[in-house]
Structure 1
């Protein structure tokens, strides 16, 4: 009965691609195969001291870092990420996280990673939005790799959205906003810190400092779905 109703709804209200608005095939979700293939990949995981690593260098100790899709406000990836964050499509995050992880997996990027930790939202902001999109990205990576997701990192105070802030404002906005309540559970672990988009890297730096400051023996790597260039 449930499948019959789903088929009927898809016939009356067919799902469309969030980029080209064409009708999706039955096996496609959110983005058609053509538009998904055309999203520009950064290839940063193959580049030593790539641009995202340069942004984080010297801010906190990390093993490696990458942003998978090249991001700018006028590109299709921007539309997809905006829909994921602000238009109640958290499933986009899980889908893109899984796809990115499948593409990265053969490179060994996830070697020695024991746990995936998404950058958290303050509970008030998450209650308003209804979900944390970064958690869904982390779940997609977990789907592809089998590495568990942990909500070990907590946001201890709210902060403004970063979109319209200057670099200095971003640093002030994200200073000392995260904590790790139970650091002993992650001593010596390989941690993958996950966020949606890296622009200046200020949020990642604050999160990375909180993790490495609380768990000095942890080995942190960084993944973001999008990265500005």
Structure 2
């Protein structure tokens, strides 16, 4: 056993590292999410009712060529616990890891979209300052690491502060995000991936796509770590 391993084992003894999904103590080379949780997290996959429901999320926006979600979000489930750790407990590693896992599995499935760039959904500067980072940036970075597709966290900007979407109807969500985004001058790739944490009604992602359409973007692929059940 080398010195690095000895030091890590000693540190784990004093300050046990726990899985963000199940709170079990991490063993050996495990990091952030234990092996059992990585295997058992509820995947959406490419068949079944949950994957079919993705097809109808953006029917009013034909420029959205594909929609992919990695995991199924259920209240008080492991996916909610992981995203809570990412957004509210400051665990950035969760975002990087989930983005990387999503990218690896989508690539292995043969369904990785062909796009020029990955864009993260921006936070308003006030909310970003409060949180210290944008969780979507971490998801985009992890996905980029796994796929080699470049990403940007600055091409899109949220120029208006909005109330939370939680608890709002689909129409209220659309109204809440109208006109809140702007695009960096000169940014106009033809094909874009948009990545975010949870897909509920899709109002925020749709508004991002509509904003990008005005600058010359023509094709969109929607990526989210989780799909919320209704």
The question of a shared fold, defined as TM-score above 0.5 by the shorter chain, is answered with: yes
TM-score by length of 1: 0.89
Gaps of 5+ in 2: none
Q: What number of residue pairs does the alignment pair up?
A: 224
For residues 101-135 of structure 1, give each alpha carbon's deviation from its aligned partner in whole angstroms, at most 9, with x where no partner exists. Answer: 11110233334222110000011110010000000
Aligned residue in 2 for 1:59: 61
Out of 114, 124, 127, the residue aligned to residue 125 of structure 1 is 127
Contact 1:44 1:68 in 2 (8 A): no
Q: CA RMSD in A?
A: 2.2
Aligned residue in 1 for 2:45: 43
Question: Residues of 1 paired with 2:215 and 2:48: CA distance?
Answer: 30
- 1:198 is displaced (CA, Å) by 0.3
Contact 2:72 2:227 in 1 (8 A): yes
Change (3 A) 1:204 1:9: same
Contact 2:113 2:221 in 1 (8 A): no
Question: Residues of 2 paired with 1:193 and 1:143: CA distance?
Answer: 16
Question: Residues of 2 paired with 1:134 and 1:174: CA distance?
Answer: 17
Mapping of 1:1-229 within 5 angstroms?
8-44=10-46, 50-59=52-61, 61-151=63-153, 152-182=155-185, 184-188=186-190, 190-216=191-217, 218-229=218-229
Question: Residues of 2 paired with 1:128 and 1:23: CA distance?
Answer: 30
Contact 1:93 1:136 in 2 (8 A): yes
Question: Residues of 2 paired with 1:171 and 1:111: CA distance?
Answer: 26
TM-score by length of 2: 0.89
